[in-house]
Amino acid sequence: MIAMVEGEVVALGPDEVTLMVGGIGLRIYIPGSLTSQLKMRENLLLFTHLVVREDALTLYGFEDEREKAYFQLLLGANGVGPRIALAIISMLSIETIRAAVLQEQVDTFARVPGVGRKTAQKIILHMQGKVGDAGALGTAAGLTDIDGEVVEALISLGYSVVEAQAALQSIPRDTEKDVETRLRLALGYFSQ
Protein backbone atom coordinates (compact mmCIF):
# COMPACT_ATOMS: atom_id res chain seq x y z
CA MET A 1 0.00 0.00 0.00
CA ILE A 2 2.73 2.49 0.98
CA ALA A 3 5.81 1.27 -0.93
CA MET A 4 8.18 4.21 -0.32
CA VAL A 5 8.35 7.31 1.83
CA GLU A 6 10.65 10.29 1.35
CA GLY A 7 10.86 13.18 3.76
CA GLU A 8 12.89 15.22 6.20
CA VAL A 9 14.14 13.61 9.42
CA VAL A 10 12.51 15.53 12.30
CA ALA A 11 12.89 13.03 15.18
CA LEU A 12 15.02 9.98 15.93
CA GLY A 13 14.60 7.14 18.42
CA PRO A 14 16.58 3.96 19.04
CA ASP A 15 14.66 2.06 16.36
CA GLU A 16 12.45 4.68 14.76
CA VAL A 17 12.52 7.85 12.73
CA THR A 18 9.86 10.50 12.20
CA LEU A 19 9.79 11.91 8.68
CA MET A 20 7.97 15.10 7.74
CA VAL A 21 6.13 14.27 4.52
CA GLY A 22 3.82 16.93 3.06
CA GLY A 23 3.17 18.48 6.45
CA ILE A 24 2.50 15.13 8.14
CA GLY A 25 4.95 13.46 10.53
CA LEU A 26 5.17 9.73 9.90
CA ARG A 27 6.74 7.46 12.53
CA ILE A 28 8.59 4.64 10.80
CA TYR A 29 10.34 1.80 12.61
CA ILE A 30 13.77 1.16 11.12
CA PRO A 31 16.76 -1.13 11.78
CA GLY A 32 18.96 0.11 14.63
CA SER A 33 21.99 0.02 12.31
CA LEU A 34 20.34 2.71 10.15
CA THR A 35 19.38 4.95 13.09
CA SER A 36 23.02 5.60 13.99
CA GLN A 37 23.73 6.87 10.46
CA LEU A 38 20.94 9.45 10.31
CA LYS A 39 21.13 13.16 11.03
CA MET A 40 18.37 15.60 11.88
CA ARG A 41 16.97 17.66 9.00
CA GLU A 42 18.45 15.42 6.29
CA ASN A 43 16.27 14.07 3.49
CA LEU A 44 15.66 10.32 3.65
CA LEU A 45 14.07 7.79 1.29
CA LEU A 46 12.83 4.54 2.83
CA PHE A 47 11.30 1.45 1.24
CA THR A 48 8.38 0.67 3.51
CA HIS A 49 6.15 -2.16 4.60
CA LEU A 50 2.79 -1.32 6.19
CA VAL A 51 1.51 -3.65 8.91
CA VAL A 52 -2.25 -3.38 9.45
CA ARG A 53 -3.60 -4.50 12.79
CA GLU A 54 -7.01 -4.07 14.34
CA ASP A 55 -5.75 -1.28 16.59
CA ALA A 56 -2.82 0.18 14.62
CA LEU A 57 -1.22 0.95 11.26
CA THR A 58 2.56 0.61 11.57
CA LEU A 59 5.22 1.46 8.99
CA TYR A 60 8.57 -0.31 8.83
CA GLY A 61 11.26 1.25 6.66
CA PHE A 62 14.46 0.04 5.03
CA GLU A 63 17.39 1.53 3.10
CA ASP A 64 16.95 -0.73 0.09
CA GLU A 65 14.48 -3.15 -1.40
CA ARG A 66 16.60 -6.17 -0.50
CA GLU A 67 16.31 -5.42 3.25
CA LYS A 68 12.57 -4.96 2.81
CA ALA A 69 12.30 -8.28 0.93
CA TYR A 70 14.15 -10.13 3.71
CA PHE A 71 11.93 -8.46 6.32
CA GLN A 72 8.87 -9.70 4.45
CA LEU A 73 10.38 -13.18 4.14
CA LEU A 74 11.03 -13.26 7.90
CA LEU A 75 7.41 -12.26 8.55
CA GLY A 76 6.28 -15.41 6.75
CA ALA A 77 8.01 -17.64 9.29
CA ASN A 78 5.73 -19.04 11.99
CA GLY A 79 6.21 -17.13 15.27
CA VAL A 80 7.94 -14.11 13.73
CA GLY A 81 6.16 -10.78 13.99
CA PRO A 82 7.31 -7.40 12.69
CA ARG A 83 9.26 -6.46 15.84
CA ILE A 84 11.25 -9.73 15.82
CA ALA A 85 11.85 -9.46 12.06
CA LEU A 86 13.12 -5.89 12.56
CA ALA A 87 15.38 -7.03 15.42
CA ILE A 88 16.88 -9.69 13.15
CA ILE A 89 17.49 -7.18 10.34
CA SER A 90 18.96 -4.74 12.89
CA MET A 91 21.39 -7.22 14.37
CA LEU A 92 22.34 -9.33 11.33
CA SER A 93 23.34 -8.17 7.87
CA ILE A 94 21.42 -9.55 4.90
CA GLU A 95 24.44 -11.64 3.93
CA THR A 96 24.69 -13.05 7.46
CA ILE A 97 20.99 -13.99 7.39
CA ARG A 98 21.43 -15.60 3.99
CA ALA A 99 24.52 -17.52 5.11
CA ALA A 100 22.80 -18.67 8.32
CA VAL A 101 19.84 -20.01 6.33
CA LEU A 102 21.98 -21.74 3.71
CA GLN A 103 24.29 -23.28 6.32
CA GLU A 104 21.44 -23.96 8.78
CA GLN A 105 23.10 -22.02 11.60
CA VAL A 106 20.37 -21.96 14.25
CA ASP A 107 22.69 -20.24 16.76
CA THR A 108 23.09 -17.18 14.53
CA PHE A 109 19.36 -16.41 14.76
CA ALA A 110 19.09 -17.57 18.39
CA ARG A 111 21.52 -14.78 19.44
CA VAL A 112 18.94 -12.16 18.49
CA PRO A 113 16.93 -11.06 21.56
CA GLY A 114 13.44 -12.56 21.39
CA VAL A 115 14.40 -15.42 19.07
CA GLY A 116 14.65 -18.85 20.66
CA ARG A 117 16.05 -22.01 19.11
CA LYS A 118 12.64 -23.25 17.96
CA THR A 119 11.83 -19.94 16.27
CA ALA A 120 15.29 -19.93 14.68
CA GLN A 121 14.64 -23.41 13.27
CA LYS A 122 11.28 -22.23 11.89
CA ILE A 123 12.97 -19.24 10.24
CA ILE A 124 15.58 -21.44 8.57
CA LEU A 125 12.96 -23.94 7.41
CA HIS A 126 10.74 -21.16 6.02
CA MET A 127 13.54 -19.30 4.22
CA GLN A 128 15.33 -22.29 2.66
CA GLY A 129 15.05 -22.17 -1.10
CA LYS A 130 14.06 -18.49 -0.99
CA VAL A 131 17.47 -16.87 -0.45
CA GLY A 132 19.50 -18.43 -3.28
CA ASP A 133 21.70 -21.48 -3.40
CA ALA A 134 24.75 -22.41 -1.36
CA GLY A 135 26.94 -22.53 -4.47
CA ALA A 136 26.87 -18.72 -4.67
CA LEU A 137 27.91 -18.38 -1.03
CA GLY A 138 31.56 -17.39 -0.64
CA THR A 139 33.72 -17.86 2.42
CA ALA A 140 32.95 -14.33 3.53
CA ALA A 141 29.19 -14.66 2.92
CA GLY A 142 29.13 -12.65 -0.30
CA LEU A 143 31.02 -9.63 1.02
CA THR A 144 33.47 -7.64 -1.05
CA ASP A 145 37.05 -8.93 -0.85
CA ILE A 146 38.07 -6.05 1.44
CA ASP A 147 35.11 -6.46 3.81
CA GLY A 148 35.67 -10.23 3.76
CA GLU A 149 39.24 -9.67 4.94
CA VAL A 150 38.00 -7.36 7.70
CA VAL A 151 35.49 -9.98 8.90
CA GLU A 152 38.13 -12.73 8.79
CA ALA A 153 40.56 -10.53 10.76
CA LEU A 154 37.93 -9.85 13.43
CA ILE A 155 37.07 -13.55 13.69
CA SER A 156 40.76 -14.40 14.07
CA LEU A 157 40.88 -11.88 16.95
CA GLY A 158 38.19 -13.89 18.74
CA TYR A 159 34.99 -12.09 17.76
CA SER A 160 31.99 -14.12 16.54
CA VAL A 161 30.68 -13.87 12.98
CA VAL A 162 27.67 -11.92 14.28
CA GLU A 163 29.90 -9.46 16.17
CA ALA A 164 32.16 -9.06 13.13
CA GLN A 165 29.16 -8.37 10.89
CA ALA A 166 27.77 -5.81 13.36
CA ALA A 167 31.14 -4.04 13.48
CA LEU A 168 31.29 -4.04 9.68
CA GLN A 169 27.81 -2.49 9.46
CA SER A 170 28.90 0.31 11.82
CA ILE A 171 31.52 1.53 9.33
CA PRO A 172 30.28 4.66 7.49
CA ARG A 173 29.46 4.01 3.83
CA ASP A 174 31.85 6.67 2.52
CA THR A 175 34.90 5.15 4.28
CA GLU A 176 37.94 4.36 2.15
CA LYS A 177 37.99 0.86 0.68
CA ASP A 178 41.21 -0.34 2.30
CA VAL A 179 41.52 -3.11 4.87
CA GLU A 180 43.54 -1.20 7.49
CA THR A 181 41.15 1.77 7.69
CA ARG A 182 38.04 -0.41 7.75
CA LEU A 183 39.54 -2.78 10.35
CA ARG A 184 40.51 0.15 12.62
CA LEU A 185 36.95 1.54 12.45
CA ALA A 186 35.46 -1.93 13.03
CA LEU A 187 37.61 -2.39 16.13
CA GLY A 188 36.44 1.04 17.31
CA TYR A 189 32.90 -0.35 17.31
CA PHE A 190 33.82 -2.72 20.18
CA SER A 191 35.26 0.06 22.34
CA GLN A 192 32.02 2.09 22.38
Q: What is the pLDDT of residues 140-179, one digit of tens each?
A: 344 566 777 787 788 778 887 777 777 877 888 778 878 8
**How much is the average pLDDT of 65-86?**
94
In this model, does residue 123 exceed pLDDT 90?
A: yes
What predicted TM-score, i.e. pTM, was given to this entire model?
Answer: 0.69
**Percentage of the chain modeled with pLDDT above 90:** 49
What is the amino acid identity at position 5? V
Query: Per-residue b/e over 3-13, b at no fewer than 16 CB within 10 Å?
Result: eebebebeeee
Comparing 164 with 85, the larger pLDDT belongs to 85
In this model, does residue 136 exceed pLDDT 70?
A: no
**How much is the average pLDDT of 51-65?**
93
Phi, psi of 17 (to 5 degrees): -135, 145
- Give the pLDDT confidence score for residue 33 in this predicted structure: 82
In this model, does residue 81 exceed pLDDT 70?
A: yes
Distance separating alpha carbons of residues 124 and 127, to the nearest angstrom: 5
Comparing 93 with 119, the larger pLDDT belongs to 119
* Summary mean pLDDT of the chain: 86
In this model, does residue 135 exceed pLDDT 50?
A: no
**How much is the average pLDDT of 79-103?**
91
Distance separating alpha carbons of residues 65 and 59, to the nearest angstrom: 15
Q: What angle do CA 139, 130, 152 make, to 5 degrees?
A: 15
**Percentage of the chain modeled with pLDDT above 70:** 92
| Range in 21-35, 52-66, 71-85, 178-192 the model is least confident about | 178-192
- Give the pLDDT confidence score for residue 133 in this predicted structure: 58
Q: 155: closest CA among 142, 139, 131?
A: 139
- Give the pLDDT confidence score for residue 144 in this predicted structure: 63
Phi-psi region of 41 (alpha: psi -120 to 50; beta: other; left: phi over 0): left
Q: Is residue 80 a contact partner of residue 104, using CB atoms and an 8 Å limit?
A: no
Distance separating alpha carbons of residues 184 and 187, to the nearest angstrom: 5
Angle of helix 65-75 versus helix 94-102 axis, rounded to 10: 40
pLDDT band, very low/low/confident/very high, at 54 (cuts 50, 70, 90): very high
The helix or strand, by DSSP H or E, that contains position 182, with its residue range, turns out to be: helix 179-190
Q: Is residue 110 a contact partner of residue 124, using CB atoms and an 8 Å limit?
A: no
Q: Which domains does the chain have, with CATH numbers?
A: 4-62 (2.40.50.140), 65-136 (1.10.150.20), 145-190 (1.10.8)
Q: Is residue 48 a contact partner of residue 5, using CB atoms and an 8 Å limit?
A: yes
Span 25-35, pLDDT tens digits: 999 999 988 88
**Which residues pair with residue 117 across a beta bridge?**
none
